[in-house]
A = this chain, B = another copy of it.
């Protein structure tokens, strides 16, 4: 399906002066679409609005919502990517409050991950690339993603479905395109994303649902030692749901009961 730029079918970026291209000055969302519905839409829009607020981008969120709904309807099924840039650049890094954000919608087919990743779990590559600590950008799904590009280039072996990223201080943070959860003594632990990392929409949804089920949830700094002591480990994102983690470096875990329970919830969230 053809992309849309600012609500109009387009195959090219209207302007070479776009700040998304020049500086990575913008945000994005990757949204699963089923039966014409964008899934977890409210959470995606909440994160986008939060990102706009943090980056001082003034966007028309009502318009964005209606475009996402219309585009998903036209797509039917697949993955919808929204890129929201700060629009065209003046000379240099400065921008004016009047800068009009540019909305780019792109469709791609539903992700074709092996079914085994969810069913039997995955092996994690140990990325040498560390996430830099930048509180001003932490948590946002912004367009400055060279760290992820470099980390993802560290392995080609398809035996690894994902890679584990630590920050420059050695804390365990997330996957390259997923968030990470540990299960310990029946409770969930996931990394504090105040210094780096992307605050995933599925992570947010799982924390909410786990809380409602009375499952203790801790958002905190995670050391390798804590990872070693975990009873279960899993990855999540808003496209594939949950993948149990079976192995990382010399560590291995079973696919445990809490992972399976949450996997059921994720499956429901990614269905219509």
> Contact residues of A with B, CB < 8 Å?
3, 5, 10-25, 28, 55-56, 83, 85-86, 91-95, 104, 106, 108, 111, 129-130, 132-134, 136-137, 142-153, 168, 176-177
Contact = CB atoms under 8 A, between A and B. Distances in A.
A25 B145 contact: yes
A150 B55 contact: yes
Contact of A23 (B11, B134, B148, B168): B148
A146 B142 contact: yes
A22 B152 CA distance: 15
A23 B146 contact: yes
B136 A150 contact: yes
Contacts of A13: 12-13, 15-16, 18, 21
Given A13-B15, A25-B145, A92-B152, 18 more contacts: A12-B13, A16-B106, A20-B21, A21-B104, A21-B143, A22-B83, A24-B145, A55-B149, A55-B150, A91-B108, A94-B153, A95-B153, A129-B136, A130-B136, A132-B132, A132-B134, A134-B168, A137-B147
Describe A's contact surface by its main secondary structure: loop
Contact of A18 (B14, B19, B21, B153): B21
Number of chain copies forming the complex: 2
Contacts of A136: 129-130, 147, 150
A10 B12 CA distance: 11
Nearest to A16: B3
A14 B12 CA distance: 5
B146 A24 contact: yes
A159 to B, nearest CB: 15
Contacts of A21: 13, 18, 20-21, 83, 85, 104, 143
A149 to B, nearest CB: 5
Contacts of A148: 23, 93
Contact of A56 (B83, B86, B153): B153
A16 B11 contact: yes
| Residue in A12, A16, A56 whose Cβ sees the most chain B Cβ within 10 Å | A16
A144 B93 contact: no
B104 A16 contact: yes
Nearest 7 CB-CB pairings of A with B: A24-B24, A13-B13, A144-B144, A132-B134, A132-B132, A93-B152, A23-B145
Contacts of A55: 146, 149-150
